[in-house]
Amino acid sequence: MHHDTTAIPAKRLALLVWLVAVLANPALGFHAQDSGNDLVALDLPEWNPDPEDLPQELQPLEIERPSLPARLTDTAVKMERRIVELEAIGLSADTREAQHAALDEAIGIAEQLLAIREQHQGNEDDVIRWRNTEGRPQEWHELIDARLGLAQLHAIRARTIEERAELVQLRELKRDYDEYLASADYQAAKSAIEDRIEIARRILGETSPEMMRMSQDLGTLRYTIGQLEEARAAYAQALEACRTTLGADHPLTLTAMMNLGSTQFAAGEYVKAKRNFLAALRGNRRVMGDDDPETLRAIRWLAAVLQSHGEYAEAEAYCRVSLHASRQTLGDEHIGTLTSVSNLGLVLYEQGRLRESLPYTSAALEATRRLLSEKHPYTLSSMTNMAALLEASGQAIEAEVLYRESLDGRRELLGDHHHETANALNNLGDLLGELGRLSEAESYFREAVDGYRIAVGEKHPDTLLAQNNLGMTLLAQGRLIEAEQILRLVLNSLRDEMGENHPRTLLAASNLGVTLHKLGRMREAGSLTGKALEAKRQVLGSAHESTIQSMINMASVHIAQGEDQLGESQLLEAIQRSKSLVGEAHQLTLTAMSNLGSHLEMQGRLNEANQWYSQALDIAEQLRIETLGGARNRAQLSDELHIRILASVYAAVLTRTASHDAAIGVLERGRARAASDLLCRDAGGALDSLRAIGDAERVTRYESAMESERVALAALREAEARLAAVEREN
């Protein structure tokens, strides 16, 4: 028996990004008490790192910011509140005289506030209180805001009563927009933002701070509904206006920079995105501090970039810092905290640390379901991540339910051709492929490819990922020529877009190598697989699952070319590295052992083959017993592990070595697993067929046989439960 190991980067999981349009946006920065639900209390493992162990960009930062003296801080806050109150009266009072009186008083207070900030926070000829990242003197953002606020009050004072009424409407539209966006009513949000822009442009002018904020709001809406190019244009316009009017260090400029980076990330332009995220992180740490929500958002984005490059260990550090600070600063029920929870669960999942991932992934789903609606984008993303974790844990039935629920929600909310809808199609197709439902999987992958092409373009990494998965599904169906054409196209595109040594490129090379192997083109398969293996050793290291998978694939090529010693040594290395990395009871270790047993059997080294087959069968049965979930999940995993086939092959080798009693015992192990799995999966299907043809005698015999199997199954389940309990205690 021989297993081909194909390293398919199948999942496109749902990274939560907490996109923010303007500072302190209430729609995306709510707490549970705003939603009317009970507070969320996250029960998560503690994490207290040594600061010296943090990534370089997150090391403690010593910086002196130009703050007001303590005696004036409260005074400034009270003055700002009074200005807001008077401005509201100045816009909505019943008479022109009352409006003017309120605005005049507001202007007087604003002038006093500006003088205070200039005295204590402004740069002078002999005192430079703030410099930008390049070391040049720059005005502090609170002083800029005080100056612009005073200018805005003068502008309002010069407007007519009718124009002031429109400015009141402008603020009401802002509240409406936030509510619509939070409730995923995107059409209503679009109408609200368009009305806001029309009023602000006409009354306040293109360069007003209000127009800068609205450009960001427009970009957020465009991004959310999948219009990436339009979102990029809105964010770029906002960034240019903010830099010109407010300076590079202003918080609104840093937000615009981060939001522009988000569209670059979504378009697969990871280098450009990382540049903007790094600049935003450094700027926010300097200006706002380490615990500011925007600093934490920049950390989350950088974690996403690192994760996209397969740099999971460093991404994990960023995720943990973000979560730790978010819980302390924002509280457990804040959407920023829940985003951090979900993303940490995701990066642990990507490293194969499923049990560590579970508390984070399940907490994120439970909390978003409670605080948001079932069809909210954040809930659907958490649902996707939970489904992937269930699938990886052997609970395919439960995973399919969540994948389908997520897909239905995406279609309803975003339409058939949105990026996130394509992600959901791709993930469901992958699960169905794993379940052997290849025709269904092919249909979903083709729809995903079409969706990605429309949403993000032909060369986007996610489009290529879905094409890769389509190619591997065709390969599993035996349609080798079609598979080769698609996989070669994917590999060439990834080389052009992401480089020769990117993890996705290396995985695509491995997959094409497997296809060429099946086509019998061993020379080309060996060259491609060998190059992929060496590159993975350099980029990912030898102790990485993908590298070990390539070792197993390369061993198969060596053996097929008659290079038995090379193939055998590679399998032995794969077994040892897999044991060290993921443990003995893992499918990767099982595959390497089975392949080595098959190789030794073909060489006539039957006693050695028996040893490896015996270990492989023990591991397969242990994996089956430890599968989370019910009997149907164990049945599905049994098929994936080929327990019955493994038992049959092992028994045949035992027979050839005259170990007949042992062979019968092994066959019984395989038969018992297969029969019980068949029984628990669909015992009634065959019985219904017999009844339909009216064969009463065979129905009676079948029912008797099934009853015997039920008794045996009950005993087997009890034994397995006891064994699993002992394993857990140990």
Close Cβ partners of 698 (under 8 Å, ≥ 6 residues apart): 690
Chain mean pLDDT for the chain: 82
Give the whole-angstrom CA distance, residue 197 versus residue 207.
12
Please provide the DSSP assignment of 312-369 as one string: HHHHHHHHHHHHHHHHHHT-TTSHHHHHHHHHHHHHHHHTT-HHHHHHHHHHHHHHHH
Question: What pLDDT is attached to residue 23?
Answer: 28
pTM, 2 dp: 0.68
Among 7-21, 451-465, 679-693, name the one with the lowest average pLDDT.
Answer: 7-21
- What is the residue-wise DSSP string for 33-101? HHHTSPPP----------GGGS-GGGS-------PPPHHHHHHHHHHHHHHHHHHHHHHH-SSHHHHHH
pLDDT single digits (tens) 207-260: 888 888 898 999 999 888 878 889 999 999 999 999 999 999 999 999 999 999
**Residue 191 to residue 173: CA distance in whole angstroms:** 9
From residue 561, alpha-carbon distances to 291, 526, 635 in Å are 59, 9, 36
User: Which band of pLDDT confidence, cut at 50, 70 and 90, is reported for residue 702?
Assistant: low
Question: Which tens digit of pLDDT belongs to each residue from 123-172?
Answer: 998 899 999 888 889 999 999 999 999 999 999 999 999 999 999 999 89
pLDDT digits (tens, 9 = 90+) for 473-528: 999 999 999 999 999 999 999 888 878 887 788 888 889 988 998 898 988 888 88
Please give the average per-residue pLDDT across 33-41, as a whole number: 48
Per-residue pLDDT at 3: 35
- Kindly provide the b/e burial profile for residues 637-661, where b requires at least 16 CB atoms within 10 angstroms of the residue's own CB: bbbbbbbbebbbbbbbbbbeeebee
pLDDT > 70: what percent of the chain?
A: 81
Say how far apart CA 480 and CA 521 lie, in whole Å.
12
Tens of pLDDT, residue by residue over 75-105, are 999 999 999 999 999 999 999 999 999 999 9
Which whole number is the average pLDDT over 391-415?
A: 89
Token pair belonging to 121: 């926070």
- In the DSSP assignment, the letter for residue 309 is T
Assess whether pLDDT exceeds 90 at residue 117: yes
Structure tokens at 596: 């080595």
Across 209-223, 637-651, 665-679, least confident range: 665-679
pLDDT over threshold 50, residue 270: yes
Q: Is the pLDDT of residue 32 over 60?
A: no
Residue 172: per-residue pLDDT: 93
- Residue with the larger pLDDT of the pair 73 and 36: 73
> What's the mean pLDDT in 343-365?
88
Q: What CA–CA distances, in Å, run from 367 to 84, 228, 341, 383?
A: 35, 29, 10, 11
Res. 285: pLDDT tops 50? yes
State the DSSP code for 267.
T
Distances (CA, A) of 525 to 512, 513, 519, 554: 8, 5, 9, 9
Confirm if 406 and 387 have CB atoms less than 8 A apart. yes
Average pLDDT on 573-602 reads: 85
The amino acid occupying position 166 is E
Percent of the chain at pLDDT > 90 equals 39
pLDDT at 677: 46
